[in-house]
Amino acid sequence: MTIESAGTYTLGDRTVRRIGYGAMQLAGANVWGPPADRAGAVALLREAVALGINHIDTCDYYGPHVVNEIIREALAPYPEDLTIVTKIGFFRGENGSWDEAYSDADLEKAVHDNLRNLGKDVIDVVNLRLLGDGEVRPAEASIEREWTVLARLREQGLVRHLGISNATMAQVREAQAIAPVVCVQNMYNLRMRADDAMIDELAAEGIAFTPFFPLGGFSPLQSSILSDVAAELGHTPVQVALAWLLRRSPNILLIPGSPRIDWVGENLLAGDVDLTPAALEKLDGIAAAETV
């Protein structure tokens, strides 16, 4: 497993390896409650860091609170090079619902909850997770008030850097006029490619793009083209799909999640996949050839 072959990128003043880890699956079913094997989750995180992962994506509403508490148990005191990215903008109802939380008080509370449950004095990166269309697609709306709250928390030293999730380019621009944006986290993968132009624009400005659902999310990627290319290259479809993202643009950071350490190790091999020109041509055509 050679995570170094995937290279690094910067999040503000933090240098991270381009393959990280998304911690959502460390919670129980439906991202609610504790995992069936808490000790196993702790061991997984420790092994992931030992393998070279230094970028972990989390959220205090995973559980809620459970995943951040597991991260603290597993990794605190944290390695100096470990960057933890969280997101705010929602809370979990008593029935497991995902409820928006964008008031000034909600946003401030979310930052403090993350600090407490992670056991940190400052959060490396906080992403403002926007509601969008109510699903997983961005929708235009002003974020001036919300971003101003986060900018104030950054000035207070509670947050090192700020990012946006589920955002449009206009919202990125609005935010940048108030405080710097170091990353954008939107849905993007071999099939879902609405953000092609955004990725290129962000790359030109040195802003990271972190795809959520890089492997399809709740509807895992099922593509005969992807399967055929993977077979030809001697890798798994997951490794090839992640390799395509790494190849797509140097500012793309990956945060695939898995509850199993052997799968985490397999994901790291994406950096070693040699995508031939013929393979790239086939993969590039998936979005047009198949119905989303």
Work out the widest C-alpha separation in the chain, in whole angstroms.
Answer: 53
The two tokens of residue 287 are 């979005």
Return d(Cα 21, Cα 38) in angstroms, integer.
Answer: 17
Residue 9: phi and psi, rounded to 5, are -150, 170
What beta strand segments (E) does 120-170 contain?
123-129, 159-165
Give the number of residues written for the chain: 292
Comparing CA positions, the residue from 73, 19, 65 lying closest to residue 241 is 19
DSSP 3-state of 27: coil
* Burial environment of residue 108 by CB neighbours within 10 A (0 to 12, 13 to 18, 19 or more): middle
Comparing CA positions, the residue from 74, 75, 78, 64 lying closest to residue 24 is 64
Comparing CA positions, the residue from 243, 225, 246 lying closest to residue 235 is 243
Pairing of strands 98-100, 90-92: antiparallel
Going 272 to 53 to 98 to 132, the CA torsion angle's sign is negative
The one catalytic residue among 62, 78, 102, 188:
62
* 61 classed as catalytic: no
What beta strand segments (E) does 60-136 contain?
83-88, 90-92, 98-100, 123-129
Return d(Cα 174, Cα 251) in angstroms, integer.
Answer: 21
**Catalytic residue annotation:** 62
